[in-house]
Structure 1
Amino acid sequence: MEMIGRIAGVSQVTVSRALSDPSKVSPATLRKIQDAIAATGFVPNALAGALASRRSRLVSTLVPSITNLTYSSMVKSFAQEMRAQGYQIMLSECGFDPAEEEAAVMTHLSRRPDAMLLVGTRHSANTRKMLLAAGIPVVEVWDITDTPIDLCFGFSHPEAGKAAARFAAGAGYARAACVGASDERALRRKEAFRAEFRALTGTEVPEARFESEASLGIGRAGLARLLDTEGFEKGVVFCSSDLVAHGVLLEAASRGLAIPGDIAVIGFGDQGFAPDTFPPLTSMRVDRGALGASAARAIFDRLDRGHSAPIVTDIGFEIIRRESA
């Protein structure tokens, strides 16, 4: 800053003032300082600034998977809101293991973020302890709980599973099965679907579960397992994600099965490709863009107003019926 000041013909204090609050210097002086910064390639020391202002202008964002469209679209809207307010996100992928999330939380907190976004509400005891002690806004998304750390925006996964079962039974399907990955939220939806469908129809619901992330391959292998080893014939298949459901559609087509005459398919997430599969995919929609934007605005409110009571917001879901079921 001393060098920038010499080039611009102003004091180091004026440079510091211009960087922390441009409104405190005249437009002409600000232009001189900006020209000097552009000429030298100077990057302000954000850590030093954070010590003085107690704001890093960084918000930590931890997601299970950066390749999963469910999370990426939510993070996009979250980041857009953050940038509009002069913040940047610091993003990490932490998988579905609570121990990995705990390690990521510890690392991020050491960088002194102004707030943190987490996916899910089930964390290790030490993660909760660290976040409560940090004294920063924390928003948990994609789930709801009666005991949030601070802010919570999401929906009930068991209720989503039950709603899918009621939809399937109401559509006249007498048999059902499940195919999916093994993350804990997908498992809660699946178990709720199986219990509700069994209660409504009196029939058991077989499943093909895989210990890996969602993929087309899981969908294809899952339907193959149901048909070849579980004795499943005609009925509806409830999938843990649209990606898995797309794989089920592909496997059914490869076997010459009619959709939805032989095999009906319900996905989860209502991804952008869902209307363009063949046939178009019935899915459960959660407004991910609104979720990310709402989480960001809640953080801004916390930062502006200080700490207040925990907030839990149920954003709900809806079933989008298309030709696959």
Structure 2
Amino acid sequence: MTVSRALRNDPSVNKNTRMRIHSTARHMGYVYDTTAQAFRTQKSGFVAVTLPSVNNANFAETFRALSYELEQDGVQLLLGSTHYRVEKEEQLVRQLLARKPEALVLTGGHHTGATRDMIAAAGIPIVEMWDLPADPLGHVVGFSNADAMRLIVEHLANSSRQKIAFVGASLGADMRGAERRDGVIQAARALGLPEVGFIDAGPAPISMRHGFSAFENCGRTIAQYDALVCVSDPVAFGCLSAALRMGLRIPDDLAITGFGHFEVAQVSNPRITTVDVQADQIGHDVAALLRDIFEGRIDRPLRRDVGCTLIQGETTQMPPRQMVKPLAG
């Protein structure tokens, strides 16, 4: 019993005794089995998290912030990647719930019916992040993709850009990307701009090379547009690189915008105009929310909008010839 209590860092065991027991355990290569403790306390000591991709720097930033904060409380994260597919998320949720996490954090607000049913029966705290779903499963920490795109389109319109194309993944997989495209279309219509074009960069997830290839495939037909709104900064960087290789002057011939305030947008030449959605703040806020839940300070679903900010770079700078009144709100 003394060894068991010492390995649980029970303060009732003398400090020197605990140190000797831990030292012996390390020497033996012994790993404490927490299964019985979890069964007794009904606490597994971990939170399950799903991300669309582990290669996306923004999602990685959110995960790092969330992981760092929860580790201070002795809580570990169990991560699963959905590859932008709700069917894969359903499979992961089933596997993760079988391991009895203390909470489940999902990226986005789009889920299959089976996923929603499993979560409703799980009886654990649920947090949806990176979105503001209309029908949330529980708590929400995110931002509005429509608001982010409105900032971009208003900025382009005030720079006298009229003919806009959205560069994103093929329709059907990247739900957040689809919301951004819809946001561009809605904002353009509200400002009386021509119909927004669409440049398909391939199946999600898409990256720099997909943006580069999509732009190259357009060839000289890209001249029908005077602005590109890209689904992410890496895609925007790919388009920018292809445009410069073709000899286009950015932003004189073509304005290019991204999304996410990635590092590549800050160091590219010219710097890319983008939207900061505070990826790290989302992680910190989710961790703070979970801490309050675990400590019994929250007893109802909360909705936290972290907001978004336009970051004007050099890919859209151009003397305005016609000012457009911003949308209300």
Q: Answer whether TM exceeds 0.5 for this pair.
A: yes
> Counterpart of 1:71 in 2: which secondary structure?
helix
Task: Indicate the residue corresponding to 1:273 in structure 2.
Answer: 264
Mapping for residues 101-180 of structure 1, pairs under 5 Å: 101-180=89-168
Distance in 1 of aligned mates of 2:148 and 2:71? 32
Of residues 83-92 and 21-30 in structure 1, the stretch that sits farther from structure 2 once superposed is 21-30
Write the letter of the residue equivalent to 1:152: V
Of residues 144-153 and 116-125 in structure 1, the stretch that sits farther from structure 2 once superposed is 144-153
Task: Indicate the residue corresponding to 1:5 in structure 2.
Answer: none
Task: Indicate the residue corresponding to 1:255 in structure 2.
Answer: 246
User: Share of identical aligned residues, percent?
Assistant: 30
Q: Does 1:286 align with 2:274?
A: no
Mapping for residues 175-214 of structure 1, pairs under 5 Å: 175-182=163-170, 183-209=174-200, 210-214=202-206
Distance in 2 of aligned mates of 1:181 and 1:171? 26
Once the two structures are superposed, residues 60-102 of structure 1 have per-residue CA deviations (whole angstroms, 9 ceiling, x without a partner) of 1111111111211110111111111111111111122211101
- State the Cα distance separating 1:162 from its structure 2 match: 2.0
Write the letter of the residue equivalent to 1:112: K
- State the Cα distance separating 1:228 from its structure 2 match: 3.9
> Counterpart of 2:191 in 1: which secondary structure?
helix
Q: Does 1:236 align with 2:224?
A: no
Task: Indicate the residue corresponding to 1:95 in structure 2.
Answer: 83
Once the two structures are superposed, residues 15-60 of structure 1 have per-residue CA deviations (whole angstroms, 9 ceiling, x without a partner) of 2222334322121221221122122111011222211121111111
Write the letter of the residue equivalent to 1:319: L
Write the letter of the residue equivalent to 2:5: R
Distance in 2 of aligned mates of 1:15 and 1:270? 50
Count of residue pairs the alignment pairs up: 312
- State the Cα distance separating 1:307 from its structure 2 match: 6.4
Write the letter of the residue equivalent to 1:215: S
Of residues 254-263 and 196-205 in structure 1, the stretch that sits farther from structure 2 once superposed is 196-205
Distance in 1 of aligned mates of 2:40 and 2:150? 51
Write the letter of the residue equivalent to 2:248: L
Distance in 2 of aligned mates of 1:179 and 1:234? 12
Runs of 5+ consecutive residues of structure 2 not aligned to the other structure: 317-329
Task: Indicate the residue corresponding to 1:303 in structure 2.
Answer: 294
Of residues 110-119 and 207-216 in structure 1, the stretch that sits farther from structure 2 once superposed is 207-216
Of residues 141-150 and 17-26 in structure 1, the stretch that sits farther from structure 2 once superposed is 17-26
State TM-score, norm by structure 1: 0.91
Task: Indicate the residue corresponding to 2:306 in structure 1.
Answer: 315
Runs of 5+ consecutive residues of structure 1 not aligned to the other structure: 1-12
Task: Indicate the residue corresponding to 2:212 in structure 1.
Answer: 220
> Counterpart of 2:11 in 1: which secondary structure?
helix
Of residues 166-175 and 262-271 in structure 1, the stretch that sits farther from structure 2 once superposed is 166-175
- RMSD after superposition: 1.6
Distance in 2 of aligned mates of 1:240 and 1:273? 14
Higher relative contact order (CA 8 A, sep 6+): 2
Q: Is the 8 A contact 1:266 1:283 kept in 2?
A: yes
Match of 2:64 among 76, 94, 106: 76
